[in-house]
Amino acid sequence: MTSQKHDAEEMTLMCMKCSLPLEMGKIGISYLGNTFPVDLPRCPGCGQAYVREDLALGKMAEVEKLLEDK
């Protein structure tokens, strides 16, 4: 998946596999047996989700650490 624009407010993400624009949708993210519903851009064709780097290295990393410390 690629970003055609780097402006965060007007970013259009496209699925490289399906050539469809990504749409916001709820997906389940699982880690250590826990599943969390999250709204992320996803392909309406194949269902592949896009996770921004800042989200993966920020909030998601924090949640992973909290779950590991349990």
| Interval 47-57: pLDDT, tens | 999 988 888 78
Q: What is the pTM of this model?
A: 0.64
pLDDT tens digits, one per residue of 28-47: 888 788 788 889 999 999 99
Token pair of 48 as six digits = 């592949």
The C-alpha atoms of residue 48 and residue 15 are separated, in whole angstroms, by 8
Count structural domains, the chain.
1
Question: Can you list the alpha helix ranges (DSSP code H) found in 1-70?
Answer: 53-57, 59-69
Q: In terms of residue numbers, what domain contains 36? A: 2-69
Find the CATH number of the domain harbouring 64. 3.10.20
